[in-house]
Every structure is written in C-alpha cells, then in structure tokens.
Amino acid sequence: MEDISDITFTDFIPSFYTAPCTMYYKQNDKQRKWNIFAERNGVVIIVYNKTKDVLVLVKQFRPSVYFQQIPDKDRQEKVDTAKHPAKIGITLEWCAGLEDKVIPTDQIAKEEILEECGYEVTLDQLEKIGTIKNLSTTTGARSTFYYCEVTEEMRVNEGGGEQGENCEVLEMPVEDVIKYASHPEYVSSPINFMYGLYWFMFNKYNRK
C-alpha cells in the first residue's frame, strides 16, 4: 500500500467523480458568487463483528490527505518521498463507497461491505442511521450512514476492494479504536469517522 513513487501535482482536471463550478446568485438583493467543488454522494457503513468484538475498518492511502501534509514549496517539482513518505497520507476509515450506480443506498452498502470487508450480508441486516451533509465551503455532498453487525460465518473473502482499489481491512478491538480516536495528535481519519464512532458508542456499544 505504501509503495508510492513518482508523485507530481498539476492543475485540476475534471472527472466523473468531481467537477468544479462557480455559482452566481443574489442574496438580500446583493449579487454574490461562490466556488463549488461538486462531489458525488456516498454511503458509509459502521461494521461491527460481534463474534470477535471488533470494529471492521479500512486502511488506505488518500492523495488529498498526503497533499495537505506537504509544504507548497515541495509541491512544485517531483515530491521527495524520502522526505515525505507515503504513510503521512494513510487514513483509517469506515467501509464506504460512492453513489455511482442507479440503485438504492442500502444495496450500495451491501456491495461495499462485500468488496471492502469480505462479508456477505443481506439488506435486512443493514440498519439505516441517517443522511448528513458533508458541509464545507466548497462541497455539499451527502453521506448516508448504515450500521451492520456481522459474524465470522458471514465472511466469504478477505476484502480489500475491487480490482484497481488498494485498501486493507483492519479489525480493531473497540477499546483500541476509542484510544486511537482519543489521541490529540495522531488521528488520521475523516470527521465522519468520529461521528460514526460516537454514534456506535452511544447507540450500540454502551447499551449492550
């Protein structure tokens, strides 16, 4: 996962997954404009293996996280990976996927659990938590959250994503995840990870 080299940065090139635009509008009769970075909506799944009492997480390299760790002066030429190793772009996240198919979000969640984590689940085993906005100054995409309990008997493969993806399944005891999330400096996870963990602790784990 961390064998990453020949890193360079260039101007943004729009793709199927992201597209920038500028919105012009009037607010209280005053003309305004705002830059928007349109992203696709997504699905996030908190997976808990009740056989082993572990949370099933996904570890992967995120280029955007890596980019933000590098000073601007070091972005102008090929990045020195000895100075800026790939591990600074590694994150720990929930199982997740984009809404890139015209199917219900619970079906996407089911497929992502199989592809990323290796568990075969049924739709009725998915508990919908709700949908939140990934609100920032540039994107308003939504994430639909689900919770799913699995057992070892439901594991059908090792996970790790589809061909072309490069992620690693990491199963951590709940107490270890709490310790990780409580560290003031070394948490390398998105904000929805914290939201999901707090939801799990309040609604599931502390009520067992």
Question: Is residue 83 in a domain?
Answer: yes
pLDDT for 44: 97
Around 202, how many Cα atoms within 13 Å sit in the side-chain half-sphere? 7
Do β-strands 167-173 and 54-61 pair in parallel, antiparallel, or remain unpaired?
antiparallel
Question: Is residue 185 in a domain?
Answer: yes
Q: How many CB atoms sit inside 10 A of residue 141's CB?
A: 17
Question: Is residue 135 in a domain?
Answer: yes
Question: Is residue 201 in a domain?
Answer: yes
Task: Encode pLDDT of 43-63 as tens digits.
Answer: 999 999 999 999 999 999 998
Question: Is residue 172 in a domain?
Answer: yes
Domain hosting 85: range is: 40-207
Give whole-number Cα distances, 27 to 23, 30, 34, 133, in Å.
Answer: 12, 5, 12, 22
Confidence tier at 163 by pLDDT (50, 70, 90): low
| 93 neighbors 194 (Cβ within 8 angstroms) | no
**Does residue 147 surpass a pLDDT of 90?**
yes
Residue 62: CATH number of its domain: 3.90.79.10
Task: Encode pLDDT of 86-112 as tens digits.
Answer: 999 999 999 999 998 889 999 999 999
Q: Which two tokens stand for residue 122?
A: 């049924």
Domain count within the chain? 1
**Cβ within 8 Å of residue 153, ≥6 positions away:** 51
Q: Please provide the average confidence, as pLDDT, over all residues in the chain.
A: 89
Question: Is residue 121 in a domain?
Answer: yes
Question: Is residue 32 in a domain?
Answer: no
Question: Is residue 100 in a domain?
Answer: yes
